[in-house]
Structure 1
Amino acid sequence: MDYSPVVVALVVTVSSVAIIHLLTTRARKSCPANLPPGSLGVPVIGQSLGLLRAMRSSTGDQWVRDRIDRYGPVSKLSLFGTPTVLVAGSAANKFMFFSSALALQQPRSVQRILGEKSILYLHGAEHRRVRGALLEFLRPDMLKMYVGRIDGEVRRHVEENWRGRAAVTVMPLMKRLTFDIISALLFGLERGAARDALAGDFGHMMEGMWAVPVNLPFTAFSRSLRASGRARRVLEGITREKKAGVLGHGKASSGNNDLITCLLGLTDERGERVLSDEEIVDNAMVALIAGHDTSSILMTFMVRQLANDPATLGAMVQEHEEIAKSKADGEALAWEDLAKMKLTWRVAQETLRTVPPIFGSFRRALEDIEFDGYRIPKGWQVC
């Protein structure tokens, strides 16, 4: 039988509406009692699109305030495919950060992009094991070795992208500078085609991190998953190469003090490796994401704040010129020089206070819990 396009479209539309109605009805029936006020919205999508639009237009704070005005400081909704409870206020902050019944866990969409073995999705002993391994990379004696390398990346970046230009677009440049520094420190990846390709994939990954988790070819989430796969293959290759070097020397070489080499060289009291290859790759992905946006956003807003505050800018310039006088021509900064940047550090802290680089935090309920008289079921997100 020959169906016209109009009939086919009608059937698809009616079927879609029926399925959405069925899912919504089931969701209502399955909801436990005494939940916070609010609506879970359409299955999968929920309120995700509204929040994403607000974040892209820099009105996320207003979106949250409007929701609090409508439902109060505790309300239910659905974000990124998961039932969620939004809480606000000082008591809510204490509950979020100190309750043993909540575990740090990003939405499932983020987990699918970053990997199953990252520190973001572990708790208890497993979380402590991975956290301890990552902290080895951030020991003070390790950090001291990174200053000169960061100095070199910044000098090249300024020479190529800032010097001699009447105007620059700060945010994209800060994002690339941060990516170059982090990829050098985490992966030992030098400048070249491989780093450029990874930077492109990283950009596509970020576009779908906070997207409705629908894996269809035309969606940002699908593009992000594909970019994540390509980036993961690059990091897996780097891990294999560095693993061969560590095994060949019996330990990590002092000249290769990047994150992957450091993690490969960690062993327990039995001489067994602390982290598997998969755990190293997944947590390297998390470290790249975690360090990138926070640092690039902070530096961008510091530039904006200083552009509108000539007095503070002048004092900061003077502070840096005093440090420069003690250095030979072309000599890199050292760890001791950073301790002299007291005003710079205060400006950074004030910028973080006034313009937090992270919009919010997600936790997941490990059991049925109660807050402010409302029930939060096990497995629900709390933000």
Structure 2
Amino acid sequence: MDLDFFKQYLIHFIVLCVTVIGLIYVRYKTLVTKNIPPGRKGLPFIGETWDYIMAARRGTPAKFITDRMSKYSSDIFRTSLLGEDMVVLCGASGNKVLFSGYDKYIISWWPYTFKKILMDPSGVGNSANDEAAKMRSFLPQFLKPDSLKSYIPVMDSVAKEHLQKEWSLCKEVKVFALSKKYTFALGCRLFVSVDDPKYVAKLAEPFAQVMAGLFSLPINLPGTPYNRAVKAGRRIREELKALITSRKMELSTEDNNHNHNSKNPGGKMDLLTNMILDGLDATEISNKIGGFFIANHDSASAAITFIISYLADYPDVYRKVFQEQMEILKAKGEREYLNWQDVEMMKYSWCMACEVLRLLPPASGTFREAIQDFTYAGYTIPKGWKACWNVYTTHNNPKYFPEPEKFDPSRFEGNGPPPFTFVPFGGGPRMCPGKEYARLQILVFMHNIITKFKWKKLIPDEEIKFIGSPFPAKGLPVSLETIQI
């Protein structure tokens, strides 16, 4: 009996092995026939994820990309990241394909490891494409021109309050930490109408843990950065759900008292209220607002931090920005806040900011999924494979930006760089919907800091590291001197 069982088990095992080997062989022959892009997959499951993480920690994520472009192809190469077969489409042509081919042969894709941190478990299995579409359907109201114009005085007020409380009484500060504090407080004010400093600080803590674990190895064991990020994501959703419940009660009370105005309930027409009125449940709202906080928080603070760093490094650039901002300030009344016309006058300041975003982009790119086989540069990307665009294939490329290592804001004057080469916000129909919001908060903060302080870097050659976004290893400590106007 035991022998018969063993024979039966052995036969099943042999059949299974032959089947698996056959499938692998068929898959291999199919891929060879399809002429897939050159490259390597790296280690099983891990692929080249560890290589990319280590390159980022050494401050050289661009080298991971440029080395493979040199070795395999300047148009496209194959790799394996986050456990997925992946191709990187390079250059302006590659960016154009991924930006303009949406819903034709590619759709949005988010790694499962990201969704496990950022989303409620009930939504982890949802299509990234559907989730992205839902999010974009709610943002236009929040990010329409009239709304953006109304945010500028609020941004100006928050910036002034922040600089007065956190900078003015100090001789030395660490810019990166304070920039994160500012952008997060501003997000709390505009996204969910919260300005209680204690609550803002309480909410900010788990967001920091999420960002630290989002781009780590996805090992969900106690004590790992990824595990801490998963737990922090859960805390964020719980806090947001409590806030949602409270806001719904406010809206219900106003409605019962016949004071409810559907266009501006309680004077709080923020992102949270928009989503409640549009009928989303608490889980959907917490997922989406949490994601928007993440997208805004580290990217904007990284941009502001390195703008301050480069202004300290380049006195000629500093003088031009200072002159432009002082002309705007002198035309304002003593208690008058900035407005849309003021921001539109900050042309050189934005050129300077764009050059910082070229050299140190807060986000390196995003992912897509092939919904059918398609061809690029003579190679076939099979259906189901993941594709991504990466800023370093153009931002650091002398073909598009001569002397790419040189800091030169004049690159963005006039018509600026060629299409699909400067892509810190993506491009085409799927360009980041928060681009204009980011531009406003960056320029408003630039105006306030450069018209209030002079500063000097205390660590001139501070190392730059990357965990998702770039950041100065020591936080960019600077000495401050208040400007007397």
Q: TM-score range by the shorter chain?
A: 0.7 to 0.9
Q: Percent sequence identity over matched residues?
A: 31
Q: Determine if contact 2:47/2:81 at 8 Å carries over to the other structure.
A: yes
Residue 6 of structure 1 corresponds to: none
Report the alpha carbon displacement of residue 361 of structure 1 after superposing the two structures with TM.
2.2
Matched-pair contact (CA < 8 Å) for 1:77–1:84: yes
Q: Distance in 2 between matches of 1:37 and 1:281?
A: 41
Q: Distance in 2 between matches of 1:159 and 1:177?
A: 12
- State how far apart, in whole Å, the 2-side matches of 1:347 and 1:90 are: 22
Partner in structure 2 of residue 19 of structure 1: none
Give the Cα–Cα distance (whole angstroms) in 2 for the partners of residues 75 and 309 of structure 1. 37
Q: Deviations over 1:339-377 (max 9, x none)?
A: 332332232233323432221221111223333333323
Shift of 1:27: 9.7
Query: How many pairs are equivalent?
Result: 351
What is the rounded CA distance, in whole Å, between the counterparts of 2:117 and 2:166 in structure 1? 31
Task: Give 2:77's aligned residue.
Answer: 75
Q: Is the 8 A contact 2:213 2:226 kept in 1?
A: yes
2:321 corresponding residue in structure 1: 316
Aligned to 2:193: 188
**1:123 maps to what in 2?**
129
Q: CA contact under 8 A between 2:42 and 2:48: conserved in structure 1?
A: yes
The answer (yes or no) to whether the contact 2:221–2:227 under 8 Å persists in 1 is yes
Given that residues 301 and 351 in structure 1 are in contact (C-alpha distance below 8 angstroms), is that contact kept between their aligned partners in structure 2?
Answer: yes
For 2:188 and 2:116, locate their aligned partners in 1 and report how far apart those are by CA, in whole Å.
21
Aligned twin of 2:31: 33
- Does residue 101 in structure 1 map to residue 105 in structure 2? yes
Contact 1:152–1:332 (CA under 8 A) maintained in structure 2:
yes
Matches of 2:232 and 2:209 in 1, distance apart? 6
Please report how far the alpha carbon of residue 98 of structure 1 lies from its aligned counterpart in structure 2 after TM superposition. 1.7
Please give the alpha-carbon distance, in whole angstroms, between the structure 1 residues aligned to 2:380 and 2:295.
31
Question: Normalized against structure 1, the TM-score is what?
Answer: 0.83
- Counterpart residue type for residue 310 of structure 1: P
Deviation at 1:141, TM superposition (A): 1.8
How far residue 77 of structure 1 moved from its aligned partner, in angstroms, is 2.1
- Which ranges of structure 2 fall in alignment gaps of 5 or more residues? 1-19, 389-485
Deviation at 1:86, TM superposition (A): 2.2
Are the aligned partners of 1:208 and 1:221 in contact in 2 as well (CA < 8 Å)? yes
Residue matched to 2:9: none
Whole-angstrom CA distance in 2 between matches of 1:289 and 1:70? 34
- Please give the alpha-carbon distance, in whole angstroms, between the structure 2 residues aligned to 1:78 and 1:237: 39
Say whether residues 1:260 and 2:272 are aligned partners: yes
Q: Distance in 1 between matches of 2:38 and 2:24?
A: 13
Kept in 1: contact 2:190–2:270 (CA 8 A): yes
Distance across 2 between alignment mates of 1:140 and 1:311: 33
Question: Is 1:42 matched up with 2:43?
Answer: yes
Answer with 243-252 or 211-220: which moved more: 243-252
**C-alpha distance after superposition, 1:232-262 (max 9, x if no partner):** 1111111121122233334342521221012
Counterpart secondary structure, 1:168: strand
Residue number in structure 2 paired with 1:114: 118
Q: Does 1:287 align with 2:292?
A: yes
Residues 111-153 of structure 1 show CA distances to partners (whole Å, capped at 9, x for unaligned) of 22222769x95437x7545413211101122222222222222
1:228 aligns with 2:228: no
Counterpart of 1:258, as a letter, is D
Deviations 1:275-306 (A, max 9, x none): 33322221111211112222112212211221
- Partner of residue 437, structure 2: none
Query: How far apart are the structure 1 equivalents of 2:351 and 2:158?
Result: 24
- From 373, 380, 383, the equivalent of 2:378 is 373
- Residues 187 and 25 of structure 1: CA distance in aligned 2, closer, same or farther (over 3 Å): farther
Question: What are the equivalent positions in structure 2 for 1:1-383 lying under 5 Å apart?
Answer: 29=25, 31=28, 32-34=30-32, 35-73=36-74, 74-99=76-101, 100-115=104-119, 122-123=128-129, 127-248=132-253, 249=255, 250=260, 251=262, 252-253=264-265, 255-266=267-278, 273=279, 275-383=280-388
Q: Deviations over 1:318-339 (max 9, x none)?
A: 3322333343434432333323
Label 1:260 to 1:377 Cα distance change in 2 as closer, same or farther (>3 A). same
Q: Tell me which moved more, 218-227 or 129-138.
A: 129-138
Distance (whole Å) between structure 2 residues aligned to residue 98 and residue 348 of structure 1: 26
Distance 1:128 1:65 in 2: 32
- Cα distance in 2 for residues equivalent to 1:187 and 1:344: 29
TM-score by length of 2: 0.66
Change (3 A) 1:38 1:319: closer
Q: Tell me how large the CA RMSD over aligned residues is.
A: 2.7
Report the CA distance shift for 1:193/1:44 in structure 2 as closer, same or farther (over 3 A).
farther
Give unpaired runs (5+ residues) of structure 1. Answer: 1-23, 267-272
Structure 1 CA distance for aligned equivalents of residues 90 and 244 of structure 2: 42
